[in-house]
A and B are shown apart, each in its own frame.
Chain A
Amino acid sequence: MKIHEYQAKDLFKDFNIPVPRGKVAFSPEEALSIAEELGGYPVVIKAQVHAGGRGKAGGVKLAHSAEEVKDLASSILGMRLVTHQTGPEGKLVRKVLVEEALDIEKEYYVSVILDRSTEKIVLMMSEAGGMDIEEVAEKTPEKIVKVAVDPLIGLWPQHLRRGCAGLGLPRERQKGFMAIMRGLYRLYVSYDCSLVEINPLVLTAQGEFIALDAKINFDDNALFRHEEIKGLRDIEEEDPLEVEASKYGLNYIKMDGNVGNIVNGAGLAMATMDLIKRAGAEPANFLDVGGGASSEMVENGFRIILSDENVRAIFINIFGGILRCDVLAKGVVAAAEKVGVKVPVVVRMEGTNAEEGRKILKQSGLDLRTAKDLKEAAKMIAEIV
């Protein structure tokens, strides 16, 4: 789960990580009153959307006066921010963060991540702050300092000393920097984060470290033990169809293609999307109904896929293991009758009771085309699209 920068900064405060003074605003008037409260210009106005690259896309502006605050806030609020992470349709800006501007001496990058490769928690630190860290890692990997922490031991001072040494921080800056890294690590562990990142972490002219930006991602699988974090979810940032699907326990991701698909199992679902592409079409979605899919789940899957106007055909690919194909076929027929499917449907089912399943589909009188294997299914899809 992702949260907004302003929410992340609120959490930072709980872990003694300094952030600029500021507040979130939902209207230009609100933005103005926050700016006045801050008591001095310039102030920074930052679009709050779940995407990186906001600055480059014009979502972060400096306002030097009250009028400018109102003007800039009204232009940013309601705009569709297109960054390298949003896709071409962009993301609608519904709120802005209004903050004091800082006198910046130097920018750093710091984060805490779970490193799958080494199976440790890793502190990442770099003097190349404010830049795309992926790019830094690719072009100048020597600029990134990594310190691995064994989760069973936790964070110790030596980890932090090594970080400071790697960055070449002068002695008088180390204490402040270590306090921030300690806070970040504690936050990471306390809330089951999958990523905590400050980019940039700035050193001000006054010699203080302050988190100018804040990014936190949470492990969805651990949300059950963090009720307070669940409340930070912003459903407006998510695709409405995906939100709808999640209500029914369906794992759905919307894509730009024209062939919808319903599959049991995530790996097979991905492979099915790839198969659609190989057949010369484009997948309209990823949809995993899970190992124990019920007929209600298939029905809801149908409904969600059909509400995507681009969909011109649906491919149902089920490998019946524990889930029996005859049971599923009944579900498909019932769902198709109920929802009123108006596009061709190709069904391929294999595994337990596949023969009975195909028979049920055939006898239903619906426009369901049964394929005997993946090859034939691909051919049918290619013919339709």
Chain B
Amino acid sequence: MSIFVNKDTRVLVQGITGREGQFHTRQCIAYGTKVVAGVTPGKGGQKMDEVPVFNTVEEAVKETGANCSMIFVPPAFAADAILEAVDASVEVVVAITEGIPAQDMLKVKNYLRGKRTRLIGPNCPGIITPGECKVGIMPGHIHKAGGPIGVVSRSGTLTYEVVYQLTQKGLGQTTCLGIGGDPIIGTNFIDALSAFEADPDTRGVVMVGEIGGDAEEKAAEFVKENMSKPVIGFIAGLTAPPGRRMGHAGAIISGKSGTAEGKIKAMKEAGIYVCEDLGSLGEFALEVFKV
């Protein structure tokens, strides 16, 4: 089992004819993902390799039964692309794009309430259910199929690091997802954690957070109240100076809020196993999950 995507997921790619879109579509197909359609306005009727391209998401969904969209549209047009997928009732939308204006995302996020669509990202590496389906830009080969660990993270390469260490120790993954480094994102830690809690094959979760906002604090509260499965936490940014945006638009300590210390404290108080040394996360996980 897995969360959000699996071997039956039918993926369409918005922005499939762009450089990034083409490259990563090919990578996903090579991994085994069912990419059934692409969307690029004005290029309907063409093909990207074997994948049919449509002018609109609505058309693509109607013709191919796609239920998941991966978005590579440039930041100025990405919010529009997400809205189009939402209006076409696509079940899972994975927005890879980095640099979408915050106020665009604020509108998108409020529009999503009550809608059928789950948005993952933006500014994220995507989601992968190892061995079944990769919807994103992560290197597939570092993952190990079959579980039992779920991984959820605000970061990209840091997630790869964590997954790699798990794989090295023989700990496979059910699903790994990056929820994005922006201040306003679709799926949050709590959404992912509750899905992992409900997934019978997931026996433990690693959550990777960073400075900025209060998502980790809220997640810690959720873990304390609602989770029976062990959760490992890692937070990046203990040495980050306040008031500076550390690469990710959402990674900023404002005043006294959003610090790594505060997050680590909240996680520890909630019974989350906090790993403070990234170098030994794999061993730490082996110890905690005792599999």
Q: Give A residues with C-beta under 8 Å from B.
A: 85, 114, 116-117, 119-121, 134, 138, 150-152, 189, 192, 194, 219-222, 224-225, 251, 253, 255, 263-271, 273-278, 282-283, 286, 288, 291, 319-322, 350-352, 373-375, 377-378
Contact B102 A194 (CB under 8 A): yes
- Between-chain CB contacts (< 8 Å), 11 pairs: A85-B243, A120-B110, A151-B107, A224-B76, A253-B241, A253-B246, A266-B247, A277-B239, A278-B276, A320-B139, A351-B139
Identify B139's interface contact among A268, A278, A286, A321, CB under 8 A: A321
* B240-254 interface with A by 8 A CB criterion: 240-241, 243-251
**A350-B159 in contact given A151-B103, A189-B103, A266-B247 (Cβ < 8 Å):** no
The reply to whether A350 and B161 form a contact with Cβ atoms under 8 Å apart is: yes
Contact status A222-B102, CB under 8 Å: yes
Closest residue of B by beta carbon distance from A52: B243
Select B214's contact among A116, A276, A291, A320, beta carbons within 8 Å. A116
> Which residues of B sit under 8 angstroms from A189, Cβ to Cβ?
103
Whether B75 sits at the interface, judged by CB under 8 Å, is yes
Q: Report the Cα distance A224→B75, complex, angstroms.
A: 10
Q: Which residues of B contact A374 (CB under 8 A)?
A: 161, 278-279
Our pick among A134, A266, A276 for the contact of B248 (Cβ within 8 Å) is A266
Which 9 pairs between the two chains have the least Cβ-Cβ distance?
Answer: A267-B155, A266-B247, A265-B157, A267-B158, A222-B101, A374-B279, A270-B236, A321-B139, A375-B279
Flag if A270 contacts B101 (CB, 8 Å).
no
Q: Tell me the complex Cα distance, A121–B267, Å.
A: 28
Q: How far is the CA of A22 from the CA of B276 in the complex (A)?
A: 53
Please name all residues of chain A whose beta carbon is closer than 8 Å to the beta carbon of B250 when the two chains form the complex.
116
Could you say which residues of chain B place their CB within 8 Å of the CB of A251?
247
Contact A268 B161 (CB under 8 A): yes
* Inter-subunit contact B161/A221 (CB<8 Å): no
Complex partner residue of A267 from B75, B210, B276, B279, CB under 8 angstroms: B210
A273 to B240, CA, bound (A): 8
Distance of A263 Cα from B142 Cα, bound (Å): 19
Of the residues A220, A253, A351, contact of B244 by C-beta under 8 Å:
A253
B75 to A221, Cβ gap below 8 A? Answer: yes
Q: Which residues of A contact B260 (CB under 8 A)?
A: 274
CA distance in complex: A267, B142 (Å):
18
CA distance A114 to B160 in the complex (A): 31
**B100 interface residue per 8 A CB criterion:** yes
Q: Footprint of A on B, CB under 8 Å?
A: 23, 27, 75-76, 99-104, 106-107, 109-111, 137-139, 141-142, 153-161, 164, 181, 183-184, 208, 210-211, 213-214, 218, 234, 236-241, 243-251, 255-256, 260, 276-280
Residue pairs across A and B with CB atoms within 8 Å: the count is: 173
Contacts of B255 in A (CB 8 A): 134
Quick check: A267 and B238 within 8 Å, CB to CB? no
Tell me the bound Cα distance from A7 to B247 in angstroms.
27
A255 to B239 alpha-carbon distance, docked (Å): 10
**B157 is contacted by which of A138, A321, A378 (Cβ under 8 Å)?**
A321
**Cα–Cα distance between A352 and B215 once the two chains are bound (Å):** 32
A283 to B208, CA, bound (A): 21
| Residue ID in chain B nearest A135 by CB atoms | B255
User: With A and B bound together, what is the CA distance between A250 and B286 in angstroms?
Assistant: 36
Name 8 extra pairs, CB < 8 A, besides A152-B107, A194-B102.
Answer: A114-B184, A251-B247, A267-B248, A268-B161, A268-B236, A271-B161, A271-B236, A319-B164
Judge whether A277 and B238 touch: CB under 8 Å: yes
On whether the beta carbons of B210 and A352 are closer than 8 Å, the reply is no
Q: How far is the CA of A117 from the CA of B240 in the complex (A)?
A: 21
A53 to B135, CA, bound (A): 47
CB distance from B51 to the nearest CB of A (A): 20
Contact A138 B256 (CB under 8 A): yes
Q: Is the CB of A319 within 8 A of B161?
A: yes
Q: Name which of A120, A264, A271, A374 has the most chain B CB atoms within 10 A of its CB.
A: A271
- Of A273, A274, A276, most buried by chain B (CB within 10 Å of CB) is A274
B158 touches A291 (CB 8 A): no
In the assembly, what is the distance between CA of A128 and CA of B48, in Å? 60
Asked if A152 and B111 make an inter-chain contact with CB atoms under 8 angstroms apart, the answer reads yes
- Partner pick for B239 among A117, A152, A283, CB 8 A cutoff: A283
Contact status A270-B237, CB under 8 Å: yes
The 8 Å CB contact of B246, one of A269, A282, A373, is A269
Given the interface contacts A222-B101, A269-B247, does A291 sit within 8 Å of B240 by beta carbon? no
Q: Which residue on A lies nearest to B75, using beta carbons?
A: A221
> Would A286 and B157 count as touching, CB distance under 8 A?
no
* Chain B residues in 8 Å Cβ range of A225: 76, 101
Q: Indicate if the CB atoms of B244 and A270 lie closer than 8 Å.
A: no
- A150 surroundings in chain B (CB, below 8 A): 110
How far, in whole Å, are A274 and B236 apart by their CA atoms in the complex? Answer: 7
Q: Distance in Å from the Cβ of A158 to the closest Cβ of chain B?
A: 18
Q: Do the beta carbons of B158 and A265 come within 8 Å of each other?
A: yes
Residues of B within 8 A of A373 (CB): 279
* Cβ contacts under 8 Å, A134 to chain B: 255-256
By beta carbon, the residue of chain A nearest B215 is A116
Residues of B within 8 A of A283 (CB): 239
Which residue of chain B is the closest to A256 with respect to CB atoms? B241
Indicate if the CB atoms of B101 and A351 lie closer than 8 Å. Answer: no
Which of B99, B213, B234, B245 is in CB contact (< 8 Å) with A116?
A: B213
Partner pick for B183 among A114, A271, A286, A322, CB 8 A cutoff: A114
Q: Which residue, of B100, B103, B110, B260, has the highest number of chain A Cβ atoms within 10 A?
A: B103
**Across the interface, do A265 and B102 meet the contact criterion of CB distance under 8 Å?**
no
CB distance from A381 to the nearest CB of B (A): 11
